[in-house]
Structure 1
Amino acid sequence: MKVRILVTGATGYIGRACVRAFAAAGWTVRAASRAGDSVEGAAEGVAIGALSGQTDWTDALCGVDVVLHLAGVAHRPQTEDRTYRDVNVDGTAQLARSAVRAGVLRFVFLSSISVHGRRPGGGRIDEATPLAAEDAYGRSKANAERAVADAAAGERMTWTVVRPPLVYGPAAPGNFRRLVGLVRRGVPLPLRGAKAPRSYIGLDNLVSALICAATHPAAANRAFVVADDEDVGTADLIRLISDAMGRPARLWWIPEHLLRVVAAVVGRGGAAERLLDPLQVDCRQIMDALGWQPPLGLREGVRRAVLLK
């Protein structure tokens, strides 16, 4: 009998890739989204409306064995703390409690490396690193993790949390897409000195880790950080993007402190931190416990992200 999985946020960038991958692996996929739009690979779509502490999950969870919860509010300028709490925390708690009542066996929650905060002085982040989120988004993800664990405590349902760094892939949102667009247009970038090593994860690698989290017995009631097999500075990431396009990397240098000042003045201080600060992830635990390995290396992942639509 096929395993039945509910994927929330199924029409999103990561959601669509997960629906296709789980369906290709033989799962019966129910795609949950605000309007219940059809998604390639899904056996059916279900409309759940707005994600909140009052969302009715009864129909969406009927007959479901596994929940993959991807829906939520990510980094958005001017988003109020209350919105993060209502959607990411209360909405996740409501889904987790509903999943317990519906007899779901495994709840997989996509969190974020942001729950650990920044480590400007270096040092790798692993599962033992304290939760020290520094913004409303990271705090909401950390609180949502606790809500899932609390809902499952003493119940049959187990949970798994996956914490990725920046996710890149074809048409990825955020900083990666902006970098690709700038390189494609030949815009000179003042990031030659951005050499602090950073971890990333390709979309294919993240989907692979989520499938592992949904299926492996040893993933029960554990949180895992995940990343690609190589760390690079932003300057080298730009060079990889340029190489994949067959274009020159038009990098030039200005002092890092000046970049940070300018970014702060124009309200992009957070974006500058994500380009300039070190952020390295040690994902040996998921490799040792679940036998997971990223299917694609960084260079191949970037090549596919740039060239595929």
Structure 2
Amino acid sequence: MILVTGATGFVGQALCAELSRRQMAYRPVSRTPRPGFLALGTIDGGTDWTNALVDVETVVHLAARVHVMNDTAADPLAAFRTANVDATVNLARQAAQAGVKRFIFLSSIKVNGEATAPGKPFTASDTPHPEDPYGQSKWEAEEALLAIGKETNMDVVIIRPPLVYGPGVKANFASLMKWAKRPLPWPFGLVANRRSLVFVGNLVEFILLCISHADVGNRVFLISDGADLSIGELIGKLALAMGRRAFLLPVPPRLLEGLAALLGRRASAQRLLGSLQVDIGETIAITGWSPPYSVDDGLRQTVAAAERDH
């Protein structure tokens, strides 16, 4: 039996759909009552997981307080620690006591940092350098989980994805798709940044591999689609998936950065113009995994789903 937390979320829904398709026994967890789900109420450091962990061999822990741009919490780090550290450690300790064999934790590339230098992608062995409360909380959860793994017989598997996209994606990627649909010129023709993404289908396939693979215990893995894109290339591919072409203007990146700074949008500009690459070579070498979906496949599915929904 596989316990899936965060089963109602973006990644959780995709994972549960694939588990169902493969007829793999799983138990999805939600905070509120839903048909077919085990409702636990608030998930925090005091949650009792006894009933949820009956006959469970693998936990896939996706539930989290996710990163937000304009956090309204009085103490964001405390809020992230409550949801992402305390709740995770509580579940892991109870899982180990219940005899769970493997604990798969969805972390974030933000544990590594926010940006990479040209030609120097993040690797799993890099010294963590989280720069915001969300990344800090994920790193602290990782450290606690690895310690629990050493104390017990439970394998811990940590996955740090970059931006995840796919059918039903929300937030920044959904906004980018809306903008890409408009017949407007884009000032990114000279931007040569590189950013790694991961299609939710590729992430799900890797999670499923980690459930049974013999050599993934007590390791950290970085994953991506294996094809890094500039912002202009990403917009071009999105437009192509929508049946149109993108028009990119050759505006110098420094001019764009300066305008963003004047408008108080430096952080937004960094996400559009900066680089964030991950090296998946070690992941492939250890597991034999390779992304089953290309970035073009993923973007086509994402766009098609968005058009069906509207």
Shared fold (TM-score, shorter chain, > 0.5): yes
- State the alpha-carbon separation in 2 of the partners of residues 73 and 187 from structure 1: 35
Q: Secondary structure at the match of 2:37?
A: strand
Partner of 2:87 in structure 1?
91
| 1:11–1:37 CA contact under 8 A, matched in 2 | no
Q: Secondary structure at the match of 1:279?
A: coil
Return the offset for 1:63. 1.5
Of 252-261 and 228-237, more deviation after overlay is shown by 252-261
Return the offset for 1:266. 5.4
Structure 1 stretches of at least 4 aligned residues deviating more than 6 Å after TM superposition:
none
2:120 aligned with 1:128: no
238 and 99 in structure 1: CA distance in 2 versus 1, 3 angstrom threshold: same
- State the alpha-carbon separation in 2 of the partners of residues 90 and 264 from structure 1: 37
Of 183-192 and 298-307, more deviation after overlay is shown by 183-192
Partner of 1:286 in structure 2?
283
Q: Secondary structure at the match of 2:128?
A: coil
TM-score (norm 2): 0.91
266 and 63 in structure 1: CA distance in 2 versus 1, 3 angstrom threshold: farther
Return the offset for 1:265. 5.7
Q: Following superposition of structure 1 onto structure 2, how do residues 204-243 of structure 1 map, counting pairs within 5 Å?
A: 204-243=201-240
Return the offset for 1:249. 1.0
2:3 aligned with 1:6: yes
Of 148-157 and 206-215, more deviation after overlay is shown by 148-157
Return the offset for 1:287. 1.0
- State the alpha-carbon separation in 1 of the partners of residues 10 and 185 from structure 2: 28
**After superposition, what is the alpha-carbon deviation per residue over 1:201-249, rounded to whole angstroms, capped at 9, x for unaligned?**
1111010111111210101111100011211101100000000101221
The CA RMSD over aligned residues, in Å, is 1.7
- State the alpha-carbon separation in 1 of the partners of residues 201 and 138 from structure 2: 22
2:55 aligned with 1:55: no
Q: 1:71 aligns with which of 41, 56, 63?
A: 63
Which runs of 5 or more residues in structure 2 are unaligned?
Answer: none
Of 90-99 and 52-61, more deviation after overlay is shown by 52-61
| 1:180–1:241 CA contact under 8 A, matched in 2 | yes
Which runs of 5 or more residues in structure 1 are unaligned?
Answer: 39-43
**After superposition, what is the alpha-carbon deviation per residue over 1:226-277, rounded to whole angstroms, capped at 9, x for unaligned?**
0112111011000000001012214334443443355456554333222211
Q: Following superposition of structure 1 onto structure 2, how do residues 34-183 of structure 1 map, counting pairs within 5 Å?
A: 34-38=31-35, 44-76=36-68, 77-78=70-71, 79=73, 80-122=76-118, 123-183=120-180
Partner of 1:41 in structure 2?
none
Of 146-155 and 247-256, more deviation after overlay is shown by 247-256
| 2:191–2:252 CA contact under 8 A, matched in 1 | no
- State the alpha-carbon separation in 2 of the partners of residues 22 and 276 from structure 1: 37
Q: Following superposition of structure 1 onto structure 2, how do residues 255-266 of structure 1 map, counting pairs within 5 Å?
A: 255-264=252-261
Of 160-169 and 257-266, more deviation after overlay is shown by 257-266
Of 293-302 and 111-120, more deviation after overlay is shown by 111-120
Q: Secondary structure at the match of 1:152?
A: helix
Q: Secondary structure at the match of 2:4?
A: strand
